[in-house]
Structures are given as structure tokens and as C-alpha cells.
Structure 1
Amino acid sequence: MSSLLNKAVGGIGCALLALPLMAALIVGALISGLLSASSVSAAPSKHALADIPTAMLTLYQRAAADCRGLSWAVLAAIGKVETDHGRHPTMISSAGAVGPMQFLPSTFAAYAHPVPPGGKNPPTPWDPVDAVYAAARLLCVNGARDGKNVPGAIYQYNHSRAYVRQVLAVADRYQAQATRPTARAASAVAFARRQLGTPYRWGGDGPAEGGFDCSGLTKAAYLATGITLPRTAEAQYHATAKVPRGLPLLPGDLVFYGRPGNLHHVGIYIGHNQMINAPHPGARVRIEDYRWKDYWGATRPAARGGTR
């Protein structure tokens, strides 16, 4: 038996869902995503609750929900760095940027429409609602959607690497610890994002073998962080720390489908009800809604380092 086939034995459920069933699952996931009007966000930390005015915190959360993958904490961090959430006495910079989110009027005009709920008409960069929604839109079109390149999006807001680091540090303090992934989990997600578009390959562990299957992708993502997982979806489930039902998922969690003894698929959760997975033959590594009909549960490999 070839080494490729040998690796795939016991994990072939990633590829062998009947096509009509797979199609039904994908359609169901898409419908479920369309019906979901909001996304799960990190809870505010005690520091955030003390530092951010209640009305502004609510506004950051509302505006971020319009851009899947954008954390309200990033918006809030920009508001903090720019004007201390509108507390700066003048809110006019030496470059001519104005308002709580410090927009040049010409830049604001590009992101001011449609007028957000509660905004001014015509919109103005001086209005907190208009300004925060415009900031979310600017970030979204520059890489924040689906979390693809949030640092790059922040850099487009202010072309300074130091500014990006400052905003991310503030955003980190604004999120409750329990809702943040570990550094290894975040690295695993980053690895998986870099594989988007890679062809599905049954038994594949990466581009050198023509692509990934589902468990090959998750194994490679965590191997890149120093955590070694077993090869198959079933074995990965049993080797990693279970996420208790009812607790929110964190980016980097592995999500499994089927039932123990027949766990046929696994993906890597990235937040906002989305996962990255290698779904089936003929497809490519992609982002999609994780809430399939036969979702079983999740595990957290970084919680105890997997197997080595």
C-alpha cells in the first residue's frame, strides 16, 4: 500500500460523504449562515467596561457586526488611540482629521454611505455613529472581512507599524481572557488561512502531495505551532481536550462531524460561526459556516498541547 493511501486509511470519512448528503449539508450551512443576523464576539474585559463609555461600547459592537471577522475590540481600540472614545477636547489633528475616529473628510466620504441606523443625514465624521460605521467599513474592505488581514486593515487606517501594534495591544486588553485564543491556536488559524485555495487531496498532508484532506489540514496547522496531532479526524478528537457543550468556541478549536466511532470530518474554527476546512474531492480549502447538521462537538488542541 502506498504511503499516501496508508495515511488515509481510517480517516477516509473526510472524503467519502455521499455527494447528495454533502450538497445538502453545504446548502444547510449556507442557509443557516444567511439566517444568522449577528455573530459571536469576544466579551468585554473589566478594563473595557471601565474605560469605554457604555454608548460607545454598544456602537462599536453594532458596527463591527456588519463586517464578519472584524472584532468590536479593534474598532474600540482605534477609538481609544485616536480620541479616547471622543473625550479629546478638540478632535482635530494637525493633518486635518476630525471627529471621534479621526477621518479626513475626503476619506470619510468614501465610507459614509449607507447612513447607519441612528446616524446623521447627511452623514458627518463628527457624529460618533457615522464615524464608527465608516471606520468599520474602511477596515472591512482593506482586509478585516473574515479576519483575513486585520493588521493590514489597521495599517490602511494609519500607515504606521507602531500604530498597528498599539491598536492591537489595546484591543487585546479590551477582550476578556476567556474569549481569546492562545498564541498557538491563533498561529494554527493563520496557517490554515494561508492554505485557502489549496486543492482537496484524499490522504494529503499539503501541497507537496497535491493538497490536503480534512484531517491533513488540521494536523498540518497545529504541527506548524509545535503541536503534533494524530492523522485522522477520529483520532484527533480523542487525543485533544474537549470543549464542554454550551461554552463558546474559540479560534483554533477543532470542530467534528458524525459521532464517535464514525467522525468523518474535521475543520478548524476561526470565529464568527466560520471554519476553514478541506471539504471534499473536487473542492479547495475554504471558509464556510461550521454549523452542519451532523456537528458533534469541538476540541481545543492548544489547551494541553495535543500529542507529541
Structure 2
Amino acid sequence: MFGASSPSSNALADIPADYLALYRQAAPTCPGLDWSVLAAVGKVETDHGRSPLPGVRDGENAAGAGGPMQFLAPTFAEVVARHPLPAGGARPPSRYDPHDAVHAAAHYLCDSGASTGDLNAALFAYNRAGWYVRKVLDQARAYAATQPTGTGDCNAIAATGPATLAAINYACGQRGLPYLWGGDGPDNGEAGFDCSGLTTAAYAAAGITLPRTAQTQYLAGPAVPEGAPLLPGDLVFYGTPGTTVTARIHHVALYLGGGQMINAPRFGEPVQVEPYRWNGDDYAGASRPAGVPS
């Protein structure tokens, strides 16, 4: 519903930068919880800690809740006991500390149903009112800008940001160049590319350094979780997935969207766009290079 979202212009204008960073840091601790839902809870509860009402910065409201995410003291203590919070907040953890409150809220929502995709149940557990669930989900929709899934067309590039746009634009500009084993392309005085030479050069054009081979690019990650949507600019790999010891990756390409990739495929064939999946392939997974937004 809200997967693979980035902040909309509404979110960027409304959410303080420190809170936005916390929501985006905490949400991935719960598979299935998008940052926009966590941010919407923070908005509805206390306007991201800006509310002047009692119980936001200290004390409690009439229901006994306190802090920017409005935790009851026993609930917060129970969450923290089950899920030790990461460094960066108060010691001991405090429901009034934004870092601690946001991370605890992510854990609470996760335990209440978000991890299985049941956001309605998770939000109802947070505040047992139908109007509250509807208000939070409406706010989350306003905050979430779904990442483009891409067109698969080099003449109509859709990208997730400047880095992926630069990488895809570079790779598309190399169409027609020959496959050359070990080739790093014309920028390095060579007539063509091999598969990882193309992806390395494409991301170098975006100011992002990748390891040189398909195997090392796969191991460098970060991996796109299985079942998560691929985004333009993701690296797609072929071979045997696994660990540093067991993985055997022989090919890499740059995902364009629309089920298409651009790659330097094999001897005798030039850099080209083609489907990233086919019958009998040995697709091993995808990664989203560090520095590329998720």
C-alpha cells in the first residue's frame, strides 16, 4: 500500500528534518511498515512533537500518555523490554526522547500487525478508534510519494533521483557498443564493456563507486528484499545466490523498469535493452547501491 515510498512535497514541507530522518531510520526495523505510516502517527499524535498540549515534552495528558508518540508509561516500558532500542537516544530510554519514542512506536506497530501487512489492526491497537485509523492512513497517503517503477524505455527514463537518473542515462548512451571481456568503455580508452564494466561506469557517472566485478557488486549490496518491487537503477544479478563463500554470480545488469534491463550481455552482442527475466534464467536477486534512495 505504501511500499517503496519517498517523501512527497507535502511531507518535506510539514515534517521537521530530524523527525523525518528518525521515521525513515526506524521504519525498516519492521518489514511491511513504511516510514510514511510511522510519520502519520507522529503527525496525528503531537504534530511531530510541536503540539503545546500537556504530555508532549513532559508530564502526561488526561489519558496518561506522554512524549511525541504518546506512549503510556507501562506500554513504553514493555516495548523497550522486548526490543532494545538502538543507540542515539536517552539512557535509560525515555518516551519523551524523539529517537526512543519513534523507534518504540515502530516496534509496537510491528508487533501489532504491521509486520504481516495488517496496518488497520496495528493502528487500531495504537489507538482504539476507527476514526484514528482512517486519519492516520489518510495522512500517510499524503506523505508518501511512490517511487517510479520505471518505463523500460531509454527515451523516457523514469528514475528515483539524480543518481539513478545519471546512471541510467549513461548506460543508455552506450547502446550499440560491443561486448568486450574486461572492457571499461570509451571513457577508459576501450571500445566496449563487459557486464560489470557497464554498471561500474554507469554509477561512476553518478558519483557512486561500485566494486568492479559482478560477484563483488552482488556481495557489496545492499540487497533488495525478496518480494520488494525493483526500482529503476537497481542492479540485477544472475548466477547462484548466497554468502561470500557460496555465491557464484556471473552477470549483472542495470534495471530500467517495466521488466527491462540494460546490459552488456555476451560476446557478439552489443550493449542493449532486454527483459530481465526469461524462461530458464538463473536470476539471483537485486541490490540497490549505497547512496541510492530506497
Cα distance in 1 for residues equivalent to 2:96 and 2:32: 26
1:273 to 2:264 alignment: no
What are the ranges of 5 or more consecutive residues in structure 1 without an aligned counterpart? Answer: 1-39, 182-240, 249-271, 277-289, 301-308
1:128 paired residue among 98, 107, 112 = 98
User: In structure 2, what is the Cα distance between the partners aligned to 1:152 and 1:108?
Assistant: 19
**Is 1:79–2:31 an aligned residue pair?**
no
Summarize the alignment of residues 7-86 of structure 1 with structure 2, pairs less than 5 Å apart.
41-86=4-49
How far the C-alpha of 1:58 sits from its partner, in A, is: 0.2
Q: Distance in 2 between matches of 1:86 and 1:106?
A: 20
Alignment of 1:139 onto 2:72: no
- Aligned equivalent of 1:98: 66
Q: 2:130 aligns with which of 161, 164, 174?
A: 161
Distance 1:291 1:161, change over 3 A: farther
What is the one-letter code of the residue matched to 2:46? T
Answer with 1 or 2: which has the greater Rg: 2
The size of the alignment, in residue pairs, is: 167
TM-score by length of 1: 0.48
Secondary structure, aligned partner of 1:117: coil
Q: Distance in 2 between matches of 1:84 and 1:140?
A: 22
Match of 1:293 among 238, 260, 282: 238
Alpha-carbon shift at residue 117 of structure 1 (Å):
2.1
Distance 2:75 2:236 in 1: 38
Whether the 8 Å contact between 2:49 and 2:68 is mirrored in structure 1 is yes
| 1:251-270 → structure 2 map (5 Å cutoff) | none
State how far apart, in whole Å, the 2-side matches of 1:275 and 1:117 are. 30
Aligned-pair Cα RMSD in Å? 3.2
Matched residue, 2:181: none
Question: What does 1:163-242 align with in structure 2 at a 5 Å threshold?
Answer: 163-176=132-145, 178-179=146-147
Q: Distance between the aligned counterparts of 1:180 and 1:159, measured in 2? A: 34
Q: Which runs of 5+ in 2 are unaligned?
A: 161-223, 229-234, 240-251, 260-294
- Encode CA deviations 1:263-299: one digit per residue, 9 max, x unaligned: xxxxxxxxx63329xxxxxxxxxxxxx9663799654
Q: Which amino acid aligns with 2:76?
A: F
Letter in 2 for 1:105: A
Are 1:109 and 2:77 matched, yes or no? yes
For 2:5 and 2:50, locate their aligned partners in 1 and report how far apart those are by CA, in whole Å: 24
Q: Which amino acid aligns with 2:24?
A: Q
In structure 2, C-alpha distance between the alignment counterparts of 1:170 and 1:242, rounded to whole Å: 28
Distance 2:84 2:6 in 1: 28
1:243 Cα deviation from its structure 2 partner: 4.5
Is the CA contact (8 Å cut-off) linking 1:42 and 1:180 kept in structure 2? no
**CA deviation after TM superposition for structure 1 residue 242, in Å:** 5.1
Given the superposition, is the C-alpha separation of residues 117 and 246 from structure 1 closer, same or farther in structure 2, using an over 3 Å criterion? farther
Distance 1:76 1:172 in 2: 11
Task: Please say if residues 101 and 135 of structure 1, whose CA atoms lie closer than 8 Å, have aligned partners that are also in contact.
Answer: yes
* Superposed CA offset, 1:184-235 (max 9, x none): xxxxxxxxxxxxxxxxxxxxxxxxxxxxxxxxxxxxxxxxxxxxxxxxxxxx
SS of the counterpart of 1:114?
coil
What is the rounded CA distance, in whole Å, between the counterparts of 1:273 and 1:292 in structure 2?
A: 14
Structure 2 letter corresponding to 1:88:
S
Do structure 1's residue 119 and structure 2's residue 71 form an aligned pair? no
CA distance in 2, matches of 1:114, 1:81: 25
Deviation at 1:132, TM superposition (A): 0.4
